[in-house]
Chain A
């Protein structure tokens, strides 16, 4: 079972690598075009010489074969513009993206679970209407707008939180130097809330509908009749079953967040992988583009495997299959 999944995962990765390697070459313009556009002193002859020296005159299959060969040995190439190994660039930026994704999911679930449960239990009351309105607001608010509003309120007007930047891992501080936790975590708050807002709305709606379905089930009525306390019924019997679709959704959301959230990273000057990818696309830094996509694909596949594992943990029926 696991072996076949891993086999398909490897197949997907090779496919993704090939598609990206081909697509980036199909897009008009190469790194030398970008350099020449900013340097009118370069002649057409200078441009050709540079293309040759950068290895851009080789055929696409030749470049792909060289890339795949390197990738299999863990060498994702060297950035054309920054001149350092791509693995180094990703290594510098992935932790910032990953931890931001983590805090965004934590905030999203911390709010979505109670809202989802409450709105389900208080169906058709003002609590439900308020929760649903919040959900509609959440999914309709563009992330960049919320981000700028948060900066205006909390950074410029109230001066409570920094407007932008990243000052290292808050999780690392939590386990290593708890006193430094706040000084680092405060940089996460606004970007994490900006990312979490839409996730709260989506997940709360999902939990609400799943809960509504579950609380109608006979075993809930049975547990109630048996005199099981209401809190136990909700948290242990109802929520556990209602969480199944949420786990799938959160897995997908985590995968999306780990691939980088370009807009939020840009607004908050967050040194993440999304900005690295977009900058690389603008300047046609092929090795960086390919590597970011490859790493994102690996993360996505890994998360999907983890979600499968969680399913087995939460739902005994899956385990028994």
Chain B
């Protein structure tokens, strides 16, 4: 089935379904192909659930701080979370990943699904009072794509050829090819319009004081006081203004301090990434004054073998390692139980995951591991190297791997390094194993992690079949057919023991008792525009 041949309604339905099922983190992209379209128009759930114009400040503690709030100069998720409040993207997703209107009130696909035409809501203004119309959207997109902008986030707009202003409320996006993951970027601040007047007035300081049309206005950001956003009273043309008077983000790099600030009431919410440390979950769960929310994260932690050289060029040795590792005890010790056992190279929360892999893995069986090692000619043991990034949970996981493999006679030399070093160091291929980690919203992650030209592939294999399957799943529009290919890939990875999947972490958020209507999204965020504070 060709994507261009699908009816616009079917194509739209396909893109929405893609966005809902693959919601999550925001990084996803790449074109998994599939089908179809409609006219937009579902209301944003939750906006009518509380009174607008209330008081109260949500004070959020986060482990990370944005680098810049210029949507074309950042690719950090903490910046994205913040920009989503200040800027108004064309569409927005609810907590469960369903796509609904944002700045656009409706849209339709045409021209063989290569053109996406938005009808914008009338009367929307940027926070500086300039109009947020089709011309503003077009100027923003052109800035995003301009080589001199050197944007690190252009991949969020996909294979866009140009935009065309049809009238002040109508704008068409012309793509080079039908682009199924279109809503991943279109629902994020990265692609949202920004005020041209503000960009021209502020120059390189725009990223420190962005002006958009979102539910909250940027007020201040300083290293000493963090960031303050205040309710956009003129949000009416887009949606009901938030109940919160303001949102403040405060950066606490140290876990202990962040939790102390929550305990003392300096902040009343913690969310984003690893801001709620897994070590504290047990205590927080038992605290009646704290509302703890959790949701599976689209993340993977796995051992990836370097199969281009001994000893892991021998499948028996890889299988021995797979049998020697007890993922459940690893989750207990490294994550204090806050993760699920991974059974495949595709995370179980991703569409495309093959549930049959639950019965295909390598059960913890040290005796079998020893027997396999003996069969491979390593009865007297062997020594291998493992490179990991230096986050605390991964370091702990590496220590457990070292101990568990030690029990079957495999000595592991662990090297732990910052991610900036991990990328080029592991690309050299001198190691025997790595702990690979990814956060991704689409099963197409198999391309970057398994294809021989994939940027995050650390197998160092030359496997024409695997490459062909990985390429094929990208180009297959029929969902069932694509799933069949993905199933085959996952089975192959397991039977050949190319990876030893370890665990999939969870996302957490906590709020104090006075915080109401907080809901953790599939991507691990809260939506402050829906939150209110009990007076």
In chain A, residues 265-311, which have Cβ atoms closer than 8 Å to a Cβ of chain B?
266-269, 271, 275, 282-284
The answer to whether B420 touches A271, judged by C-beta atoms less than 8 angstroms apart, is no
Expressed in whole angstroms, the minimum distance between the Cβ of A170 and any Cβ of chain B is 12
The answer to whether B76 touches A38, judged by C-beta atoms less than 8 angstroms apart, is yes
Chain B residues lying within 8 Å of A155, measured Cβ to Cβ, are 260, 264
B254 within 8 A of A: yes
Stretch from B222-230, B463-471, B513-521 that touches the partner: B222-230
* Alpha-carbon distance A229/B423, docked complex (angstroms): 70
Chain B residues lying within 8 Å of A30, measured Cβ to Cβ, are 420, 424
* Alpha-carbon distance A271/B225, docked complex (angstroms): 9
Chain A residues lying within 8 Å of B225, measured Cβ to Cβ, are 167
Expressed in whole angstroms, the minimum distance between the Cβ of A183 and any Cβ of chain B is 13
The answer to whether B424 touches A168, judged by C-beta atoms less than 8 angstroms apart, is no
Stretch from B67-75, B111-119, B281-289, B334-342 that touches the partner: B67-75
The answer to whether B204 touches A78, judged by C-beta atoms less than 8 angstroms apart, is yes
Q: What 1/0 flags go to A159-170 for Cβ under 8 Å of B?
A: 100111111100
Stretch from B44-52, B147-155, B368-376, B482-490 that touches the partner: B147-155
The answer to whether B257 touches A163, judged by C-beta atoms less than 8 angstroms apart, is yes
* Alpha-carbon distance A152/B259, docked complex (angstroms): 11
Contact of A40 among B77, B250, B445 (CB under 8 A): B445
For A41, A163, A271, which residue has the most chain B Cβ atoms within 10 angstroms?
A: A41
Q: What 1/0 flags go to B173-184 for Cβ under 8 Å of A?
A: 000000000000
Expressed in whole angstroms, the minimum distance between the Cβ of B220 and any Cβ of chain A is 13
Expressed in whole angstroms, the minimum distance between the Cβ of A155 and any Cβ of chain B is 6
A130 within 8 A of B: no
Instruction: Report the nearest B residue to A93, measured CB to CB.
Output: B223
A72 within 8 A of B: no
The answer to whether B257 touches A40, judged by C-beta atoms less than 8 angstroms apart, is no
In chain B, residues 78-112, which have Cβ atoms closer than 8 Å to a Cβ of chain A?
none
Instruction: Report the nearest A residue to B251, measured CB to CB.
Output: A269
For A36, A78, A96, which residue has the most chain B Cβ atoms within 10 angstroms?
A: A36
B438 within 8 A of A: yes
Chain B residues lying within 8 Å of A93, measured Cβ to Cβ, are 223
Chain B residues lying within 8 Å of A38, measured Cβ to Cβ, are 27, 75-77, 419, 439
B164 within 8 A of A: no
The answer to whether A151 touches B420, judged by C-beta atoms less than 8 angstroms apart, is no
* Alpha-carbon distance A111/B434, docked complex (angstroms): 51
* Alpha-carbon distance A268/B420, docked complex (angstroms): 26
The answer to whether A151 touches B423, judged by C-beta atoms less than 8 angstroms apart, is no
A73 within 8 A of B: no
Expressed in whole angstroms, the minimum distance between the Cβ of B297 and any Cβ of chain A is 14
Contact of A166 among B73, B224, B254, B448 (CB under 8 A): B224
Q: What 1/0 flags go to B152-167 for Cβ under 8 Å of A?
A: 1001000000000000
In chain A, residues 175-229, which have Cβ atoms closer than 8 Å to a Cβ of chain B?
none
Chain A residues lying within 8 Å of B2, measured Cβ to Cβ, are none
Q: Given A83-B70, A271-B223, are A162 and B445 neighbors across the interface (CB < 8 Å)?
A: no
Q: Given A39-B27, A163-B266, A268-B257, are A84 and B224 neighbors across the interface (CB < 8 Å)?
A: no
Expressed in whole angstroms, the minimum distance between the Cβ of A193 and any Cβ of chain B is 15
Expressed in whole angstroms, the minimum distance between the Cβ of A148 and any Cβ of chain B is 5
The answer to whether A40 touches B208, judged by C-beta atoms less than 8 angstroms apart, is no
Instruction: Report the nearest A residue to B256, measured CB to CB.
Output: A148
In chain B, residues 1-57, which have Cβ atoms closer than 8 Å to a Cβ of chain A?
27-30
Q: Given A44-B455, A156-B263, are A36 and B423 neighbors across the interface (CB < 8 Å)?
A: yes
A27 within 8 A of B: yes
Q: Given A38-B77, A42-B155, are A163 and B418 neighbors across the interface (CB < 8 Å)?
A: no
* Alpha-carbon distance A37/B418, docked complex (angstroms): 11
A92 within 8 A of B: yes
Expressed in whole angstroms, the minimum distance between the Cβ of B251 and any Cβ of chain A is 6
* Alpha-carbon distance A168/B263, docked complex (angstroms): 23
Contact of B224 among A34, A53, A96, A152 (CB under 8 A): A96
Instruction: Report the nearest B residue to A33, measured CB to CB.
Output: B423
B383 within 8 A of A: no
The answer to whether A82 touches B260, judged by C-beta atoms less than 8 angstroms apart, is no
Expressed in whole angstroms, the minimum distance between the Cβ of B186 and any Cβ of chain A is 15
Contact of B456 among A40, A151, A163, A164 (CB under 8 A): A40
A47 within 8 A of B: yes
* Alpha-carbon distance A38/B27, docked complex (angstroms): 8
Chain B residues lying within 8 Å of A151, measured Cβ to Cβ, are 256-257, 260
In chain B, residues 235-256, which have Cβ atoms closer than 8 Å to a Cβ of chain A?
250-254, 256
The answer to whether A40 touches B448, judged by C-beta atoms less than 8 angstroms apart, is yes
B274 within 8 A of A: no
Chain A residues lying within 8 Å of B224, measured Cβ to Cβ, are 96, 165-168, 271
* Alpha-carbon distance A256/B440, docked complex (angstroms): 42
B364 within 8 A of A: no
The answer to whether B257 touches A269, judged by C-beta atoms less than 8 angstroms apart, is yes
Q: Given A41-B29, A44-B453, are A83 and B73 neighbors across the interface (CB < 8 Å)?
A: yes
B311 within 8 A of A: no
* Alpha-carbon distance A163/B256, docked complex (angstroms): 10
A85 within 8 A of B: yes
A315 within 8 A of B: no
B139 within 8 A of A: no
Instruction: Report the nearest B residue to A52, measured CB to CB.
Output: B150
The answer to whether A82 touches B421, judged by C-beta atoms less than 8 angstroms apart, is no
Chain A residues lying within 8 Å of B222, measured Cβ to Cβ, are 92, 271
Chain B residues lying within 8 Å of A82, measured Cβ to Cβ, are 67-68, 207
A43 within 8 A of B: yes
List A residues at the B interface (Cβ < 8 Å). Answer: 27-31, 33-44, 46-47, 50, 53-54, 78, 81-85, 92-93, 96, 148, 151-152, 155-156, 159, 162-168, 266-269, 271, 275, 282-284
Smallest CB-CB A-B distances: 3 pairs: A271-B223, A29-B420, A41-B29
22 contacts between A and B (CB under 8 A): A29-B418, A33-B419, A37-B456, A38-B77, A38-B419, A40-B28, A40-B438, A40-B440, A44-B453, A82-B67, A83-B70, A155-B260, A156-B264, A163-B257, A163-B261, A164-B257, A167-B225, A267-B257, A268-B257, A269-B250, A269-B257, A275-B253
